[in-house]
Every structure is written in structure tokens, then in C-alpha cells.
């Protein structure tokens, strides 16, 4: 079954030269090595056994084949089951870096030899956990796509992610494209391999000629910039067919598979 993940066509990878900030070359940082006892039993006030990742399939729209999985942070404690609340607690306790590391470790252990999309929180970049050379994302044996949400994007975020990408060959993903007026600038600065369309552009596109015009234009722009497009939140066959007509190559959403504790190949057969 694993072979089905590898049949997807090759996707572009982001490439970077020397990293520059305000015209000054930045020397690579040398973070301290990771020690297992740094995460002995919990992350802040959250026990390690409560933390893991859940998985959403990312699917080739024309064929219905599963290309990889988006790994989503998950906490079994009811009061922290909302991702935003989980990271807000971690940020308050200054433990976002540790939380991200635990989620990545869980995600990659469940997805051997499978491409993984995984988000990064801006605080992880400030706390230097992500750029440790022994981070789990550096040893995964398939493609890794590091996502940054465009609502939390910053020049500092772009600088650190560029450094991580150039060191490790990990490709970058700009998430929620279209949710703010700064999307175009971010697509240029970040050089992503993938751009994920915001749900607001995707849902109901089969009933909105104006959305089709916008999405078609965004797809062409992204292709010209070397990025493939993923549509988020696809709910119906009609939406999927229209997105294909607009040139969107990949998708995720309820019709293809909801988040689950283990990576499950999408049962969606593709457009009929």
C-alpha cells in the first residue's frame, strides 16, 4: 500500500541562496544539541502522553490518490482539544518549541516513507527548537513540507524558514492564501513549493463564477512562481470538479477524509 503514496508526481522544492536580512549576511546559528531528558514527562503543564498528531489526507484531485498527510497537533485533554488554546497555553508557559518537537516526533513516527505537511508556530522559530540539527523533520525518509500560516507570517519567520529550508532541503508551504491583502507579498518572499487556498475561496466555488475567476488567476500565478496549489476544505464533488477546471492539482477536506489518529488513505475515488 505504501507505494500508492509515492506515485504522485514530483512537486517543486524551494531553493535558497545565502540568507540576507536588511542586506547583512547572517551566519548559520548553532543550536545546542537536543537532550532526551529535556522532555522527560511533560510540556509545561501538559503530560507528554496527552500530546500527539492527527492526520488529514492530501489528495491528487484528478486521480483521487493520496499524496501525503497533513499532521495536526492533538491534545487528549478536553480543555486543550482546541489547537489555538493548546498553543496559547504553551506560549504562556514558553513551551511552544517543546510542543512542536513532540508533535513532529509523533507525526513522523506514524508516517514512515510518507510525505508529511506540518505547520510551524512563530514562537517555535524564536525559541530555536526548529533549527536544531537533530530535529525529527531532518531525518524523515520522505518529503517534508513545512507550513506557515499567512496570518502569523513575519519577515523574521521568513528568514528562519529560509535558513531551515536551505540547510535541510525541506520545502515550504504558505497556508491560508487569500485570507489577507498581504498574500501576494508573502508568496514572493517565501518561495513556497505549495500554496494552500483559504477555505473561503474553496467552499461554494461551484456556485460562484467570481470565485472561479479568482482561483484560476491565483493558480496561474502560483505555477508561474513555481508553486503547486492545494485547496482546503473541499466538501462536495461539484467543488472538486470546478477546482480541477481552475487548475488546482491537490486538495483536502471532508469529502476526502477527516482528521484521524492514524494516517488513512483517502477512499475518495476522484471526480466522477
Alpha carbon distance 42, 40 (integer Å): 6
Q: For 75-104, what is the mean pLDDT?
A: 89
Q: What pLDDT shows up at residue 58?
A: 97
Alpha carbon distance 21, 213 (integer Å): 36
Name the phi and psi angles at 223, rounded to 5: -60, -40
CA distance to 18, 28, 89, 163, 186, per residue, from 25 (Å): 7, 10, 35, 12, 21
On the question of pLDDT at 25 being above 50, the answer is no
Q: What pLDDT shows up at residue 210?
A: 97
Q: What pLDDT shows up at residue 34?
A: 43
Average pLDDT of the chain, as a whole number: 82
- This prediction has a pTM of 0.82
Q: For 238-255, what is the mean pLDDT?
A: 97
The more confidently predicted of residues 151 and 93 is: 93
| Residue-wise pLDDT tens digits, 45-66 | 888 889 999 999 999 999 999 9
Task: Please return the burial class of 227, using the count of CB atoms within 10 Å of its CB with bins 0-12, 13-18 and 19+.
Answer: buried
Q: For 34-48, what is the mean pLDDT?
A: 64
**Residue 24 CB neighbour total at 10 angstroms:** 7
Q: For 188-205, what is the mean pLDDT?
A: 93
Q: Which range has the worst mean pLDDT, 27-31, 43-47, 140-144?
A: 27-31
On the question of pLDDT at 158 being above 50, the answer is yes
CB under 8 A, 24+ apart: contacts of 196-202: 196/147, 196/229, 196/230, 196/231, 196/232, 197/229, 197/230, 197/231, 197/232, 197/248, 198/232, 199/232, 199/233, 201/231, 202/231, 202/232, 202/233, 202/234, 202/239, 202/243, 202/253
Task: Indicate the SS3 state at residue 39.
Answer: helix
Q: For 243-272, what is the mean pLDDT?
A: 93
- Per-residue confidence band for 199, with pLDDT thresholds at 50, 70 and 90: very high
- Per-residue confidence band for 180, with pLDDT thresholds at 50, 70 and 90: low
Amino acid at each position: 500500500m505504501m507505494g500508492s503514496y509515492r506515485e504522485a508526481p514530483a512537486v517543486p522544492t524551494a531553493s535558497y541562496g545565502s540568507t540576507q536580512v536588511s542586506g547583512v549576511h547572517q551566519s548559520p546559528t548553532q543550536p545546542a544539541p537536543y537532550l532526551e531528558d529535556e522532555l522527560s514527562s511533560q510540556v509545561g503543564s501538559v503530560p507528554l502522553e496527552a500530546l500527539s498528531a492527527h492526520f488529514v489526507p492530501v489528495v491528487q484531485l484528478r486521480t483521487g490518490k493520496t499524496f501525503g498527510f497533513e499532521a495536526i497537533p492533538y491534545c487528549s485533554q478536553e480543555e486543550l482539544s482546541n489547537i489555538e488554546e493548546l498553543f496559547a497555553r504553551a506560549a504562556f508557559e514558553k513551551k511552544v518549541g517543546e510542543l512542536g518537537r513532540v508533535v513532529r516526533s509523533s507525526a513522523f513516527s506514524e508516517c514512515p516513507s510518507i510525505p508529511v505537511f506540518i505547520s510551524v508556530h512563530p514562537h517555535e522559530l524564536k525559541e530555536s527548537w526548529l533549527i536544531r540539527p537533530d530535529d525529527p523533520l531532518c531525518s524523515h525518509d520522505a518529503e517534508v513540507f513545512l507550513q506557515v500560516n499567512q496570518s502569523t507570517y513575519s519577515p523574521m519567520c521568513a528568514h528562519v524558514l529560509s535558513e531551515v529550508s536551505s540547510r535541510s532541503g525541506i520545502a515550504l508551504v504558505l497556508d491560508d492564501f487569500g485570507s489577507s491583502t498581504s498574500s501576494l507579498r508573502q508568496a514572493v518572499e517565501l518561495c513556497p513549493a505549495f500554496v494552500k487556498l483559504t477555505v473561503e475561496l474553496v467552499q461554494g466555488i461551484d456556485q460562484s463564477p467570481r470565485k472561479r475567476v479568482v482561483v484560476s488567476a491565483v493558480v496561474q500565478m502560483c505555477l508561474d512562481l513555481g508553486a503547486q496549489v492545494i485547496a482546503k476544505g473541499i466538501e462536495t464533488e461539484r467543488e472538486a470538479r470546478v477546482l480541477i477546471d481552475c487548475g488546482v492539482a491537490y486538495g483536502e477536506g471532508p469529502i476526502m477524509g477527516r482528521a484521524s489518529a492514524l494516517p488513512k488513505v483517502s477512499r475518495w475515488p476522484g471526480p466522477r
